Structure 1
Amino acid sequence: MTPEPNTPPVSGLAAFASRDFRRYQMARMSVIIGAEAQTVAVAWQVYSITHRALDLGYTGLALFLPGLLFLLPAGHAADRYDRRMIILICYGLQIICTTALLTIAVLGLKNIWLIYGVLFLIGLGRAFSAPASSALIPHLVPEGQFVNAVTWGAAIFQLANIAGPALGGLLFTLPLGWLASGKLTGPGIVYIATLCSLLIFEVLISTISVRLGRMEHRAASVQVILAGFQYVRRSPMLLGSFSLDLFVVLLGGATALMPIFAQEILHIGPKGLGMLRAAPAAGALVISLVLARFPMRRKAGRLLFTAVGIFGAGTILFGLSHNLVLSLIALAITGGADMISVVIRSSVLQLATPPEMRGRVSAVNSLFLGASNELGEFESGLTAQWMGAVRATVVGGIGALMVTGIWPLIFPKLRKADQLTAAALRQDLHPRP
């Protein structure tokens, strides 16, 4: 394939010229704020019932398992059916699940297996909505504005990740028990806010005008369903990108342990937990705004590995810190570094994948993301149960640094990646027949 002439990266607010992109991002901001607030409430509720780090890890496992079990049909569905409709149905399921969490909170039920069951259903909705959402984004803006759209999408995601945990921590402690004779306190108030955010999301997504229909016209078969795996396996840059995030976040992520740091190490309570959850997003937001104004032009692969190394170092600093300010700074550093990684990996995923394959390839990516995030929470809870939260976090950060040193040797094409354009990435991504 002959490379297209180099064009300067698009900066500024170019992606917001698209009406569908604006509405999609408003919907994302609303639903992420609600979801992050809900995550704070669920984590605190589970830990207050059992006081065991391992049980916090099980919350991540419950969210991850549906992605593992339904990966293949979710990817095929995203390429076979209207992606917008899939998203609406999946978030309808989220409304039902949040209503169930609200009921558990109001009734004061202490059976955490009920909570795990609801989280499993939430994970089921995410398993189908994630590849559909990822594959929809390139159709909301012209191709030349895609990296700009990814950068702003990441900025909005991080802004919501700042507001969501802060909102969750605030609502969790509001003295509003009089709303339901003292029963609607703590998690219940948060779940009501999450329900409102989900309803806003459904309304905005229903007004998006893009209708893609079928991208994959072949009926379901083993060959068609497995095509995403085969494409990633034959593409060293995609496989390297996906697996890098998997192992770094799997080892270095400390999100699931934040309730322990908030309560037992920093002694800052649920409001402080919201601050800890928001700190990585604050760092990521700053970096995303910088990238929107000054987009990456060259040497994307080297920048990716540098950012991942900084992420590991920030994780170690957070694990060793017993000071709130230092802990917030360390988490902000990890968030900023992760943002650079997100923009590069998201661009590689979409620009290097043919439109008719994006649902299935995005489903494979969702599996890696789920393993790194939700399964990573289980790994964090398990190791913290064995060696304590501080040691588990520090060891995880060291493991992330080791991965950063090994992956450039295993995937040299990823290290040598230069421009984030479809022409450059697809030129470097010729799957072997």
Structure 2
Amino acid sequence: MASVPQTARHPLLIANFRAYWLSRFTGTIAVSAMSIVIGWQVYNVARETMGIKEAAFMLGMIGFAQFVPLFLLTPLTGLIADTFDRRWIVRATTALLVVVAGTLGYLTWSNRLTLFALFAAAVCFGVARAFSGPAYSALAPNLVPRENLPTAIAVSSIAWQVGTIAGPSVGGLLYAIHPDVAYGTATLLFAVALIFIFLIGPVPQPPAQPDHRPLARIAEGFRYVRDNRLVLATITLDLFAVLLAGATSLLPVYARDILHVGSQGLGILAAGMGIGAAITAVFFSVRPMKSNVGVKMLIAVVIFGLAILTFGVSRIFIVSLLALIVAGGADMVSVYVRQSLIQLHTPDAMRGRVSAVSQLTISASNELGEFESGVMASLLGPVGAVVFGGVGAITVTLLWARLFPELKRARTFDPPEILETEPQHGEAKP
């Protein structure tokens, strides 16, 4: 099995990575479009019989429905990503999403869509992401040379962020035509993503360990994160900051009852963070970050908290949109630093399990964060919940700067010497 030539090439010049990028791009558009439509439908149905606070709580429950399977399955799926062909894991989960999107489209078209079906779809989304997340993350480093990995992460983030921009806008526009049109488009996009995944040829992957200690191997991933304080700091900082300041689940509340901009305005607001993140990712793909990476991450998370705070108190649509754009750009800096450190500081044979730990915390910050936002909105109101989250993110960042001095000392992405000299699978030692 031939490995990727170790020459300085842009990741998109590598056929396998190009197929990977296109799959992620189309799949992200589909996921973002479905998420905005599902959230809007759940909130509108709930508002027919509930007040704003109670309906906002239902939005939080959608996040919780996705978090439970992710929480239960992710430790196991990391081991699976280190044991089986990562391409086939992504293919299987993408096929599941094709079925879920098609089913929701049919139920909508036939006027049989219920809250139960929407929550069941959210659970299936959680299952699919639990398996595909570690496999996707661990697959990318197998597609490009090590020295190109930070650029590949930025380029891969462009696919995700541009998809995040396009998806909500497309979803909101198609929903205005008819919800089943949005679901039909999502089904087609998932099918295209599946085709691109099948275009990825054989890639080097460490052989599965021949032992019979699956629980011990799962625990190795958690121990590695625990013992590597720099990786632990970046993962947990993102966990608590986004857990507290995740305002995206409350966007339907702001669109309908605070800013009064309807479903089309909701699509624009939902694209806001993606716009800022995509601009930042494009910048890093051209000029990768090289110095003071830890300090820049800390500053970025503070800016993120301030932007979310601004969004929470704003009553002007353009100000709210700009605040979300700034928040997305700041969050992209954090994502870029975290993913680069995790991938470059982790041996390839453990990337699936460490990526699973990372995904578990990301899921806790996103989906569980949606639940937290829904609960806080039911207690403090939507504005109070968002303001509380922005202040909380800033407080956590200042605390982490003191608890983890490794962050401030992280000048570059260079891994420890033991990992820097470790040969990649398929390479020979010099």
For normalisation by structure 1, the TM-score amounts to 0.91
For the aligned residues, what is the CA RMSD? 1.5
In 1, Cα distance between equivalents of 2:418 and 2:294: 11
1:342 is aligned to: 335
1:355-370 correspondence runs (5 A): 355-370=348-363
1:243 is aligned to: 236
The letter for the 1-side match of 2:37 is A
How far residue 389 of structure 1 moved from its aligned partner, in angstroms, is 0.7
1:321 is aligned to: 314
1:4 is aligned to: none
1:128 is aligned to: 131
1:27 is aligned to: 23
The letter for the 2-side match of 1:31 is G
In 1, Cα distance between equivalents of 2:388 and 2:268: 24
How far residue 261 of structure 1 moved from its aligned partner, in angstroms, is 0.3
What SS is found at the alignment partner of 1:209?
Answer: coil
In 1, Cα distance between equivalents of 2:418 and 2:107: 48
More moved, 314-323 vs 90-99: 90-99
The letter for the 2-side match of 1:268 is V
CA contact under 8 A between 1:81 and 1:213: conserved in structure 2?
no
Listed one character per residue, the Cα deviations across residues 95-124 of structure 1 (whole Å, up to 9, x for unaligned) are 121122223322334631221112111210
1:111-126 correspondence runs (5 A): 111-126=114-129
2:423 is aligned to: none
1:382 to 375, 387, 402: 375
How far residue 426 of structure 1 moved from its aligned partner, in angstroms, is 5.1
Listed one character per residue, the Cα deviations across residues 258-308 of structure 1 (whole Å, up to 9, x for unaligned) are 000000111100000000000111111111222222221110000000000
Listed one character per residue, the Cα deviations across residues 157-196 of structure 1 (whole Å, up to 9, x for unaligned) are 111111111100110112xxxxxxxxxx22x111111111
2:95 to 92, 96, 112: 92
What SS is found at the alignment partner of 1:360?
Answer: helix
2:411 to 415, 418, 428: 418
Listed one character per residue, the Cα deviations across residues 364-394 of structure 1 (whole Å, up to 9, x for unaligned) are 1110000000110111111111111111101
1:309 to 302, 305, 312: 302
In 2, Cα distance between equivalents of 1:134 and 1:19: 18
In 2, Cα distance between equivalents of 1:219 and 1:325: 57
CA contact under 8 A between 2:143 and 2:203: conserved in structure 1?
no
CA contact under 8 A between 1:80 and 1:213: conserved in structure 2?
no
CA contact under 8 A between 1:66 and 1:124: conserved in structure 2?
yes
CA contact under 8 A between 1:57 and 1:381: conserved in structure 2?
yes
1:204 is aligned to: 196
1:57 is aligned to: 60
More moved, 415-424 vs 348-357: 415-424
CA contact under 8 A between 1:102 and 1:192: conserved in structure 2?
yes
In 1, Cα distance between equivalents of 2:394 and 2:207: 40
In 1, Cα distance between equivalents of 2:17 and 2:416: 23
1:194 is aligned to: 186
1:43 is aligned to: 39
1:214-363 correspondence runs (5 A): 215-217=207-209, 218-363=211-356
1:138 is aligned to: 141
More moved, 368-377 vs 280-289: 280-289
1:71 to 59, 70, 74: 74
In 1, Cα distance between equivalents of 2:379 and 2:113: 25
Identity of aligned residues (%): 37
2:14 to 8, 12, 18: 18
In 2, Cα distance between equivalents of 1:293 and 1:350: 19
2:161 to 155, 158, 161: 158
How far residue 422 of structure 1 moved from its aligned partner, in angstroms, is 3.4
How far residue 214 of structure 1 moved from its aligned partner, in angstroms, is 5.3
Distance change in 2, residues 1:34/1:270 (3 Å):
same
CA contact under 8 A between 1:348 and 1:425: conserved in structure 2?
no
More moved, 240-249 vs 215-224: 215-224
CA contact under 8 A between 2:347 and 2:419: conserved in structure 1?
no
CA contact under 8 A between 2:104 and 2:113: conserved in structure 1?
no
Distance change in 2, residues 1:425/1:221 (3 Å):
closer
1:395 to 375, 378, 388: 388
In 1, Cα distance between equivalents of 2:198 and 2:113: 37
The letter for the 1-side match of 2:80 is A
In 2, Cα distance between equivalents of 1:246 and 1:348: 16
The letter for the 2-side match of 1:35 is V
In 1, Cα distance between equivalents of 2:260 and 2:418: 48
In 2, Cα distance between equivalents of 1:104 and 1:417: 51
How far residue 414 of structure 1 moved from its aligned partner, in angstroms, is 2.1
How far residue 213 of structure 1 moved from its aligned partner, in angstroms, is 5.4
In 1, Cα distance between equivalents of 2:345 and 2:293: 14
